[in-house]
Structure 1
Amino acid sequence: MVIGHGNDYSVLQETINILDNNYVDFFVHWDKEYKRPNLTAKNSKIYFINSINVGWGTDSLMQVELNLLSAVKKTKKYKMAHLISSADMPLMDSDYFIKYFNGERSYLGFSHNNTDDFSDRIKYYWPKFSLRNKKVLSKLIFLCNRLFNINRLKNTNIEVKKGPQWFSINTNLIDRILNYDKKNFFYSYCVDEIFMQTILADLDTNIKNANNDNAQAARYIDWKRGTPYIFSAKDVEELKKVKNTKYAFARKVTDSNIIKNVFN
Structure 2
Amino acid sequence: MKKLLGSLDDERNDIYLLIDKKSLIKDINFKNDVTKSKIFQYAPVEIFWGDYSQIEAEMFLFKQAAKNNYEYYHLISRADLPLVSQDKIHDFFDKNPNKEFLTLILDKNNDQKIADRVSIYHFFVKICGKNTKNIFLKTFFSIYSRLEKIAQKLFKVDRLKNSNIEIQYGSNWVTIDNEFIKYVLSREEWIEHTFKHTICTDEVFLPTLLVNSKYKDRLFYAKMTENKSSNEFQGNLRYINWWSGPQYPKIWGTEDYNELEHAKEKGYIFARKFDSSFDVNIINEVLKNDDIGNK
Which of the five TM-score ranges fits, normalised by the shorter chain?
0.7 to 0.9
**Once the 2 structures are TM-superposed, how far is the Cα of residue 244 of structure 1 from its aligned partner?**
6.5
Determine if the alignment matches structure 1 residue 121 to structure 2 residue 121.
no
Q: Distance in 1 between matches of 2:2 and 2:62?
A: 21
What does residue 106 of structure 1 align with?
100
Determine if the alignment matches structure 1 residue 251 to structure 2 residue 237.
no
Structure 1 residue ranges, 4+ long, deviating more than 6 angstroms after superposition: none
The 10-residue stretch of structure 1 (145-154 or 241-250) with the greater mean CA deviation from structure 2 = 241-250
What does residue 219 of structure 1 align with?
238
Q: Find 1:25's aligned residue among 4, 8, 14.
A: 14
What does residue 9 of structure 1 align with?
none
Q: Distance in 1 between matches of 2:170 and 2:234?
A: 11
Q: How does 1:1-264 map to 2 (within 5 A)?
A: 12-34=1-23, 35-39=26-30, 40-76=33-69, 78-102=70-94, 103-116=97-110, 117=112, 118-127=114-123, 128-132=125-129, 134=138, 135-180=142-187, 181-182=190-191, 183-201=193-211, 202-203=215-216, 206-208=221-223, 215-226=234-245, 227-243=248-264, 246-255=267-276, 256-264=280-288
Q: Which digits, 9 at most, give the CA deviation of each residue in 1:147-184, with x for residues without a partner?
A: 33221112111211100110111121112111111111
Q: Secondary structure at the match of 1:99?
A: helix
**Counterpart of 2:268 in structure 1: which amino acid?**
Y
Q: Distance in 2 between matches of 1:244 and 1:153?
A: 42
**Once the 2 structures are TM-superposed, how far is the Cα of residue 68 of structure 1 from its aligned partner?**
0.6
**Once the 2 structures are TM-superposed, how far is the Cα of residue 214 of structure 1 from its aligned partner?**
6.5
Whether the 8 Å contact between 1:92 and 1:245 is mirrored in structure 2 is no
Note the aligned Cα RMSD (angstroms): 2.2
**Once the 2 structures are TM-superposed, how far is the Cα of residue 114 of structure 1 from its aligned partner?**
2.9
Q: Secondary structure at the match of 2:40?
A: strand
In structure 1, list runs of 5 or more residues that go unmatched. 1-11
**Once the 2 structures are TM-superposed, how far is the Cα of residue 231 of structure 1 from its aligned partner?**
0.2
TM-score by length of 2: 0.78
**Counterpart of 2:271 in structure 1: which amino acid?**
A
Q: Secondary structure at the match of 1:81?
A: strand
Whether the 8 Å contact between 1:168 and 1:217 is mirrored in structure 2 is yes
**Counterpart of 1:146 in structure 2: which amino acid?**
K
**Once the 2 structures are TM-superposed, how far is the Cα of residue 131 of structure 1 from its aligned partner?**
2.2
Whether the 8 Å contact between 2:104 and 2:225 is mirrored in structure 1 is no
Whether the 8 Å contact between 1:220 and 1:247 is mirrored in structure 2 is yes
Structure possessing the higher radius of gyration over alpha carbons: 2
Whether the 8 Å contact between 2:118 and 2:159 is mirrored in structure 1 is yes
Q: Secondary structure at the match of 2:143?
A: helix
Q: Distance in 1 between matches of 2:40 and 2:107?
A: 38
Whether the 8 Å contact between 1:124 and 1:151 is mirrored in structure 2 is yes
Whether the 8 Å contact between 2:101 and 2:237 is mirrored in structure 1 is yes
**Once the 2 structures are TM-superposed, how far is the Cα of residue 211 of structure 1 from its aligned partner?**
8.3
What does residue 4 of structure 1 align with?
none
Q: Secondary structure at the match of 1:26?
A: strand
Q: Secondary structure at the match of 2:17?
A: strand
In 2 relative to 1, CA 243–16 (structure 1 residues): closer, same or farther, beyond 3 Å? farther
**Once the 2 structures are TM-superposed, how far is the Cα of residue 200 of structure 1 from its aligned partner?**
0.7
TM-score by length of 1: 0.87
Structure number having the greater helix percentage: 2
**Once the 2 structures are TM-superposed, how far is the Cα of residue 245 of structure 1 from its aligned partner?**
5.1
Percent identical residues: 31
Q: Distance in 2 between matches of 1:199 and 1:171?
A: 15
Q: Distance in 2 between matches of 1:14 and 1:244?
A: 23
In 2 relative to 1, CA 209–165 (structure 1 residues): closer, same or farther, beyond 3 Å? closer
